[in-house]
Amino acid sequence: MDADFPAWLEPLARLLEPWLPALTITGILMALVSLVAIPWLLIRMPENYFTEGYKPRSNRGPLAWVIWCLRNLLAVVLLLAGILMLVLPGQGLLTILIAIMASTFPGKYRMERAIMRRPGVFAAANWIRRKYRRPPLQHPDDKVRT
């Protein structure tokens, strides 16, 4: 290994070395998919998605349960890949964000609202919506319109 490489990381590096090409390709694919997926999701969501007035639909039945399981399984796989990509080649933070968006867990909407309260994120999301001639998203702190 390299002289500057910490000795305590050598076993991990040897373990992950055969996976580097696959993880690099996965990182590139995730970056390309995110270029399509994030705008697609942003233009499909309702304007009030990040406000307190938004209530997600709840489906009942066995098919809804299967979809819920598959969705969260995909989210776990993406989350693990994103965590690995933080130290390996790839779009780690972006993959983690996609995993959060794909998952369902208590507090998810609260966390999404906290992310959208950041001025740069909110402005970028509405910039994408403007490009596709969609009405702007309501800010998470906006009062619910009746």
Q: Is 144 exposed, middle or buried (0-12, 13-18, 19+ CB in 10 A)?
A: exposed
Q: DSSP letter at 48?
A: T
Instruction: With H, G, I as helix, E, B as strand and everything else as coil, classify residue 64.
Output: helix
Q: What is the pLDDT of residues 99-125, one digit of tens each?
A: 887 888 888 888 888 888 989 889 988
Q: Where are the domains of the chain?
A: 18-45+58-131
Q: What is the mean pLDDT of residues 36-47?
A: 85
Token pair of 68, please? 């819920």
Residue 116, SS3 per DSSP: helix
What pLDDT shows up at residue 70?
Answer: 92
Q: Which of 14, 19, 3 is nearest to 80 (CA)?
A: 19
Q: Are 106 and 126 in contact (CB under 8 A)?
A: no
Which residues fall within 8 angstroms of residue 31, CB to CB, at 6 or more apart? 90, 91, 94
pLDDT band at 84 (very low <50, low <70, confident <90, very high): confident
Greatest Cα pair distance, the chain, in angstroms, is 65
